[in-house]
């Protein structure tokens, strides 16, 4: 399938109570100062913590946005791929996954966020492109098959289920893996920062 | 398989909009190929609502140093110094704030697919999306056009979104519903030939009544205030027409151009005013190019004469009164029967919400409810949920407000508990609308290129603290309005708040400290009936304490039912300034580093190339001593204005500018002396002509305040003139601080 215009992957935080959301702002600002994420142009931090179930704290990059966010009432770390030259859904997903998993590693290393645990075995994937990915049964089926195929080739025992939602919402899937998906991060990304 | 929105939406929108968007897409291509001049392209995109955003010049201070953002687009720009790939802002025009359910759903999708999932309501009832890439804008426009929304003339030198009271049509006090008139004028002026050659933007508003604020006609370039007169025993509808109002750096109260203009004559009148503005308005100097300056320059009489002359020569146009025949068809049909609230079970918090967020319409059994939005923001998901609630309970009668909220009109009273429950479930049920906790704010340093301090950060902090004690706030405090702007440009409308703040900065040693000017006593009532005056600047981080002090003292000292403006007037600015003086002290970086960051931002606000250890800031400089004399003179001017001595007020304000200029000159030339001619001459040669005094955005504007006043002293200073000189002196002093910091402080941002 063609790559969607935008794609979001979200990891869930196990224990959001461990860290106040305000603490994320200086962490993201430091990532910009340090150039903690190579190959991406980190631009700015946007603070939407005042919005209910919103994007929380965003680290805006040219290629995509990182967010410590609250969509659906679940705290998580997400990456929204915005500018990319991926031809297929699989490529786009693979890039986004690597980036969010790498960001999760960075979070786990942050002393200011000590104790915060991001689960690396569950991912929510959302396809933000209503033109190519309208919310209908056929599209969901095809996308689900493509995502399953990609992950089955890289990880064991992966289950991909479509998230039931209002048809105006973007198509979303929950990916559950028996093991951590951390190994999906490419070596180049691991060495970054 | 469908590959583009262009194909999908072909012929599914008004043909003129479709053509305009195709043209714009073509211009994007031409610009990419270097075949369209960057300045021409910039004006083109602005006129389509495609705006720049902070850091789009590729420079950002990260708290340690100013870094270049290496956008992949390289040298390609979308305007002077504006990188192609830099995220930008898309402004969506919502005429008089009216939105349908379909439009809400589409805008929710757009925020998700092209922006950051947030829809932001502005003080002009627009909706803004941030972090949008310019390449996405044609599709974004197509999807809007499909539901009848245009972004045309949302920015640029054009007629901006025409605003109107959000309660018009349901209000108890109005003369009549102004919505169809705002609608007709919007249609008539959109893309009109006579509005294409303005030197600056033009803002127009409609209001249904005189005494309340919703329409704010007195702070607009053109304001239409509903009025009726009796003629031959019949009620005739029309408007009192105001011109030349505006906030901005130097606020002007609008003046009455015509006491009564019949309803079928307002379109030609607006056209005639537009022609006069295009023909006689300033074109070279942007800072003097708004209509308010033209009205001041020509005088109201001459301006009126020109407009009347123009009116007589306007070519006949069927559209001038064409809409009048359709007025009888205009009306809103509620989707549910208006039934009274009668013993229905209610959720916790309902009555508190009911007290502040529910307005009983003049139509029995119906209410308008305000959905209070923190900082004017809501998510795509919330917008969809709100669209669902609207569809079920009120239909398409949803409006944005100039206080950055959304209202649902025509809610049956019986449904109020259910609507409250539903809003609460999606995080939109917070109480306190239209009270002190419901603070208006511009985008400030978060996204605005001109922001000096974080208006949103401050607003977030003040809201949090006020919400925490809302239940215990005295009524007199609860009723106050706070409005915050990130700089002197007043987009947060701080001039018309009881308590207003606008961002600026001061120097302490080799660092800058974010500050907010405290502006007290502005009037929201009477359509923004009078403007507040700046009392003094305090560091951003002490603003919550300053607010506490002001409100506590007000409550302690107010007499019976004395309102805030009356208390400010009675107490006097000198005493208020004394009250704030303890907050104005600047610590050194070593003493209080937290003062050197802004609200909601962990970066050091600004840092010099000279390290902190070498900071000489603990030594009070000659400049600091001298500039304080200018600030005192400015303060004396405020007192004189208060006391009605306008000549003295003007003189003191002029003296304040002279003293500030002298303070600056003496950093280079100690023996400048006291002669005004010498001071102005030295200032001009050393700082103005060399552009050292230039503000990065306002350029030489602030310097010219002194030069103009020195060269053209008034024959006689009336209240308006003195007020203007005082405002100009304030800005001149601010600019002096900035210039001194730039020249002598080695400050990097
Ligand atoms: S007031 Fe200043 S900071 Fe705020 S939006 Fe206007 S120009 Fe930007």
The model's confidence at residue B527, banded by pLDDT at 50, 70 and 90, is low
Q: Are B463 and B437 in contact (CB under 8 A)?
A: yes
Q: How far is A157 from chain B (nearest CA, A)?
A: 32
Nearest Cα to Cα of residue B241 among B280, B191, B295, B190: B295
Site to probe by mutation for ligand 1, drawn from B56, B441, B448, B503 as the one with most ligand atoms within 8 Å of Cβ, is B448
Using 70 as the pLDDT threshold, list the residues of chain A that sit under it. Answer: 186-193
Q: How far is A25 from chain B (nearest CA, A)?
A: 7
Q: Are B519 and B730 in contact (CB under 8 A)?
A: no
Q: Measured in angstroms, how far is the CA atom of residue A29 from the centroid of ligand 1?
A: 23
CA–CA distance, B387 with B406 (Å, rounded to integer): 11
B532-547 per-position pLDDT tens digit: 878 999 999 999 999 9
For range B72-93, the mean pLDDT: 95
**The domain over range B441-596 is classified in CATH as 3.40.50.1820:** no
For range B355-374, the mean pLDDT: 97
Residues flanking ligand 1, CB < 6 Å: B 442-444, 448, 450-451, 455, 485-487, 489-492
- Cβ–Cβ gap A55/B603 under 8 Å: no
CA–CA distance, B367 with B528 (Å, rounded to integer): 25
Q: How far is B427 from chain A (nearest CA, A)?
A: 5
List the single residue in A with minimal CA-CA distance to B104.
A168
So where are chain A's domains? 7-188
Contacts of B302 (CB under 8 A, 6+ apart): none
State yes or no: pLDDT of B498 exceeds 90: yes
Q: How far is B72 from chain A (nearest CA, A)?
A: 9
Tell me what pLDDT residue B156 has.
86
Read out DSSP for B551-569? Answer: HHHHHHH--TT--HHHHHH
The model's confidence at residue B40, banded by pLDDT at 50, 70 and 90, is confident
Which parts of B493-532 are beta strand (E)? 499-508, 511-520
C-alpha torsion sign, points B570, B574, B575, B580: positive
Q: How far is CA B410 from the centre of its chain?
A: 29
List the single residue in A with minimal CA-CA distance to B373.
A51
- Cβ–Cβ gap A55/B379 under 8 Å: yes
**Residue in A53, A166, A170 nearest the CB of B379:** A53
Q: Measured in angstroms, how far is the CA atom of residue B695 from the centroid of ligand 1?
A: 15
Site to probe by mutation for ligand 1, drawn from B126, B487, B598 as the one with most ligand atoms within 8 Å of Cβ, is B487
Strand partners, B377: B120
- Cβ–Cβ gap A51/B64 under 8 Å: no
Long-range contacts of B22-31 (CB under 8 A, 24+ apart): B22/B138, B24/B48, B24/B137, B24/B138, B24/B141, B25/B138, B28/B134, B28/B135, B28/B137, B28/B138, B31/B76, B31/B78
- Cβ–Cβ gap B130/A46 under 8 Å: yes
Q: How far is A115 from chain B (nearest CA, A)?
A: 21
Q: Measured in angstroms, how far is the CA atom of residue B445 from the centroid of ligand 1?
A: 8
Least confident of A122-131, B67-76, B205-214: B205-214
Our CA dihedral for B495, B497, B498, B503, rounded to 10 degrees, sits at: -60
Partners of residue B2 in chain A, C-beta under 8 Å: 131-132
Q: Measured in angstroms, how far is the CA atom of residue B39 from the centroid of ligand 1?
A: 22
**Residue in B55, B379, B428 nearest the CB of A44:** B55
CA–CA distance, B392 with B273 (Å, rounded to integer): 43
- Greater model confidence, B697 or B463: B463
Q: Are B415 and B393 in contact (CB under 8 A)?
A: yes
The architecture in CATH of the region B1-153 reads: Alpha-Beta Complex (3.90)
Mutate to test the interface with A, among B602, B604, B605, B607 (most CBs of A within 10 A): B602
State whether ipTM is beyond 0.90: yes
Contacts of B544 (CB under 8 A, 6+ apart): B461, B462, B465
**Residue in B54, B116, B428 nearest the CB of A65:** B116
Strand partners, B441: B484
List the single residue in B with minimal CA-CA distance to A165.
B381
Q: Is the Cβ of A39 closer than 8 Å to some Cβ of chain B?
A: no
So where are chain B's domains? 1-153, 350-425, 441-596, 622-743
- Cα angle: B474, vertex B479, B484; to 5 degrees: 115
Strand partners, B544: none
Tell me what pLDDT residue B613 has.
27
- Cβ–Cβ gap B131/A65 under 8 Å: yes
What are φ and ψ of residue B457, in 5° steps?
A: -60, -45
Q: Measured in angstroms, how far is the CA atom of residue B402 from the centroid of ligand 1?
A: 15
Ligand 1: atom nearest CA of B486 is: 3
- Greater model confidence, B216 or B470: B470
Q: Measured in angstroms, how far is the CA atom of residue B441 from the centroid of ligand 1?
A: 9
Nearest Cα to Cα of residue B586 among B551, B638, B621, B632: B621
Mutate to test the interface with B, among A47, A67, A69, A166 (most CBs of B within 10 A): A47
Partners of residue A37 in chain B, C-beta under 8 Å: none
Q: Are B411 and B394 in contact (CB under 8 A)?
A: yes
CA–CA distance, B492 with B483 (Å, rounded to integer): 6
> Looking at residue B327, what DSSP letter applies?
G
Nearest Cα to Cα of residue B743 among B682, B670, B666: B666
CATH of domain B622-743: 1.20.120.330
Tell me what pLDDT residue A187 has.
54
The average confidence (pLDDT) of chain B is 91
Tell me what pLDDT residue B619 has.
38
Tell me what pLDDT residue A186 has.
65
**The domain over range B350-425 is classified in CATH as 3.30.70.3340:** yes
CA dist B241 to A166, B124, B206, B269, Å?
48, 19, 10, 9
What are φ and ψ of residue B368, in 5° steps?
A: -110, 130
Tell me what pLDDT residue B626 has.
75
Partners of residue A44 in chain B, C-beta under 8 Å: 54-55, 60
Q: How far is B425 from chain A (nearest CA, A)?
A: 10
Q: Is the Cβ of A54 closer than 8 Å to some Cβ of chain B?
A: yes
CA–CA distance, B652 with B641 (Å, rounded to integer): 10
CA–CA distance, A7 with B188 (Å, rounded to integer): 41
What are φ and ψ of residue A47, in 5° steps?
A: -110, 110
- Cβ–Cβ gap A25/B600 under 8 Å: yes
CA–CA distance, A22 with A55 (Å, rounded to integer): 14
For range B124-129, the mean pLDDT: 97
The model's confidence at residue B10, banded by pLDDT at 50, 70 and 90, is very high
Q: Are B95 and B186 in contact (CB under 8 A)?
A: yes
For range B73-91, the mean pLDDT: 95
B601-644 per-position pLDDT tens digit: 999 885 332 222 222 223 346 677 678 778 878 878 888 888 88
List the single residue in A with minimal CA-CA distance to B83.
A62
The model's confidence at residue B737, banded by pLDDT at 50, 70 and 90, is confident
Q: Measured in angstroms, how far is the CA atom of residue B213 from the centroid of ligand 1?
A: 22
**Residue in B428, B446, B460 nearest the CB of A46:** B446
H/E stretch holding B410: strand B406-412
Q: Measured in angstroms, how far is the CA atom of residue B490 from the centroid of ligand 1?
A: 6
Tell me what pLDDT residue B2 has.
55
Q: What is the 3-state composition of chain A as percent helix, strand, coil, each rounded to the nearest 5?
A: 35, 30, 35
Q: Are B38 and B31 in contact (CB under 8 A)?
A: yes
Our CA dihedral for B64, B68, B70, B71, rounded to 10 degrees, sits at: 110
State yes or no: pLDDT of B180 exceeds 50: yes
Q: Are B398 and B409 in contact (CB under 8 A)?
A: yes
- Cβ–Cβ gap A51/B70 under 8 Å: no
Mutate to test the interface with A, among B3, B62, B65, B404 (most CBs of A within 10 A): B62
Nearest Cα to Cα of residue B356 among B500, B527, B525, B475: B475
- Cβ–Cβ gap A132/B1 under 8 Å: yes
For range B150-164, the mean pLDDT: 93
């Amino acid at each position: 399938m063609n790559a969607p215009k935008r794609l979001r992957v979200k990891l869930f935080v196990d224990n959001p109570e461990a860290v106040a959301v305000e603490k994320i702002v200086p962490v993201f600002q430091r990532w910009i100062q340090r150039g903690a994420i190579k190959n991406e142009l980190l631009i700015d931090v946007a603070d939407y913590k005042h919005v209910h179930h919103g994007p929380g704290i965003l680290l805006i990059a040219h290629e995509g946005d990182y967010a410590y966010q609250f969509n659906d009432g679940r705290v998580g770390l997400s990456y929204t791929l915005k500018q990319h030259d991926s031809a297929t859904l699989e490529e786009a997903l693979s890039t986004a996954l690597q980036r969010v998993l790498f960001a999760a590693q960075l979070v786990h290393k942050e002393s200011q966020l000590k104790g915060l645990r991001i689960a690396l075995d569950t991912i929510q994937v959302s396809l933000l492109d209503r033109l190519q990915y309208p919310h209908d049964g056929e599209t969901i089926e095809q996308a689900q098959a493509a995502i399953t195929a990609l992950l089955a080739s890289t990880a064991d025992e992966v289950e991909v289920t479509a998230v039931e939602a209002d048809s105006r919402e973007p198509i979303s899937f929950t990916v559950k893996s028996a093991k951590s998906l951390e190994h999906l991060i490419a070596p180049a990304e691991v060495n970054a920062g | 398989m469908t590959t583009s929105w262009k194909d999908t939406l072909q012929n599914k929108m008004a043909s003129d909009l479709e053509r305009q968007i195709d043209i714009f897409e073509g211009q994007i291509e031409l610009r990419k190929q270097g075949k369209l001049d960057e300045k021409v392209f910039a004006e083109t995109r602005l006129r389509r609502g495609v705006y720049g955003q902070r850091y789009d010049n590729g420079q950002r201070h990260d708290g340690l140093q100013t870094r270049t953002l290496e956008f992949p687009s390289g040298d390609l720009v979308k305007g002077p110094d504006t990188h192609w790939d830099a995220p930008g802002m898309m402004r969506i025009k919502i005429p008089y704030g009216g939105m349908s359910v379909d439009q809400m759903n589409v805008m929710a999708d757009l925020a998700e697919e092209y922006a950051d999932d947030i829809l932001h309501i502005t003080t002009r009832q627009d909706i803004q999306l941030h972090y949008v890439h310019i390449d996405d804008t044609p599709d974004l426009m197509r999807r809007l056009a499909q539901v009848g929304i245009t972004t045309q003339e949302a920015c640029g030198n054009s007629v901006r979104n025409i605003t109107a009271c959000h309660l018009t049509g349901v209000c108890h006090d109005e003369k009549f519903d102004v919505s169809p008139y705002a609608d007709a004028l919007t249609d008539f002026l959109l893309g009109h030939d006579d509005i294409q050659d303005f030197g600056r933007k033009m803002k127009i508003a409609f209001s249904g009544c005189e005494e309340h604020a919703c329409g704010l006609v007195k702070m607009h370039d053109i304001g239409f205030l509903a009025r009726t007169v009796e003629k031959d025993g019949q009620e005739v509808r029309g408007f009192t027409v105001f011109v030349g109002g505006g906030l901005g750096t130097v606020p002007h109260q609008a003046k009455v151009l015509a006491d009564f203009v019949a309803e079928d004559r307002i379109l030609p009148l607006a056209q005639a005013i537009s022609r006069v503005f295009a023909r006689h308005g300033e074109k070279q100097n942007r800072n003097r190019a708004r209509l308010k300056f033209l009205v001041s320059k020509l005088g109201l009489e001459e301006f009126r004469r020109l407009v009347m002359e123009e009116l007589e020569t306007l070519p006949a146009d069927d559209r001038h009164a064409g809409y009048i025949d359709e007025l009888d068809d205009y009306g809103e049909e509620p989707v549910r029967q208006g039934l009274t609230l009668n013993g229905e079970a209610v959720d916790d918090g309902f009555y508190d919400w009911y007290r502040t967020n529910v307005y009983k319409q003049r139509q029995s059994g119906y209410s308008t409810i305000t959905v209070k939005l923190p900082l004017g923001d809501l998510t795509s998901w919330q917008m969809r949920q709100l669209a669902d609630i609207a569809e079920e309970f009120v239909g398409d009668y949803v409006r944005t407000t100039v206080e950055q909220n959304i209202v649902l009109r025509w809610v049956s009273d019986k449904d109020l508990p259910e609507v409250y429950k539903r809003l609460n479930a999606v995080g939109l049920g917070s109480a306190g609308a239209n009270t002190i906790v419901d603070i208006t704010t511009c985008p400030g340093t978060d996204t605005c290129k001109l922001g000096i301090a974080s208006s949103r950060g401050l607003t977030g902090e003040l809201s949090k603290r006020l919400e925490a004690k809302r239940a215990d706030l005295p009524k007199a405090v609860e009723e106050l309005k706070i409005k915050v702007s990130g700089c002197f440009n007043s987009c947060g409308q701080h001039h018309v708040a009881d308590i207003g703040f606008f961002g600026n900065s001061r120097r302490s040693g080799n660092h800058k400290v974010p500050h907010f000017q405290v502006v007290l006593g502005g009037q929201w009532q009477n359509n923004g009936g009078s403007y507040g005056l700046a009392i003094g600047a305090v560091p951003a981080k002490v603003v919550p304490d300053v607010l506490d002090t002001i409100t506590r003292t007000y409550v302690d000292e107010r007499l019976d039912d004395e309102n805030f403006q009356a208390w400010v007037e009675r107490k006097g600015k000198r005493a208020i300034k004394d009250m704030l003086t303890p907050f104005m002290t600047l610590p050194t970086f070593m003493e209080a580093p937290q003062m050197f960051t802004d609200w909601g931002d962990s970066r050091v606000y600004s840092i010099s190339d000279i390290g902190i250890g070498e900071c000489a800031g603990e030594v009070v400089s000659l400049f600091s001593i001298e500039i304080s004399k200018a600030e005192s003179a400015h303060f004396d001017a405020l007192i004189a204005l208060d006391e009605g001595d306008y000549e003295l007020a003007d003189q003191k304000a002029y003296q304040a500018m002279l003293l500030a200029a002298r303070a600056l000159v003496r950093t280079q030339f100690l023996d400048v002396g006291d002669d005004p001619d010498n001071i102005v001459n030295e200032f001009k040669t050393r700082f103005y002509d060399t552009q050292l005094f230039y503000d990065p955005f306002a350029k030489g504007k602030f310097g010219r305040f002194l030069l103009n006043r020195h060269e053209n002293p008034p024959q006689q200073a009336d209240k308006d003139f003195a007020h203007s000189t005082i405002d100009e002196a304030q800005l001149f002093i601010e600019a002096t601080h900035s210039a001194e910091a730039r020249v002598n402080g080695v400050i990097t941002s």
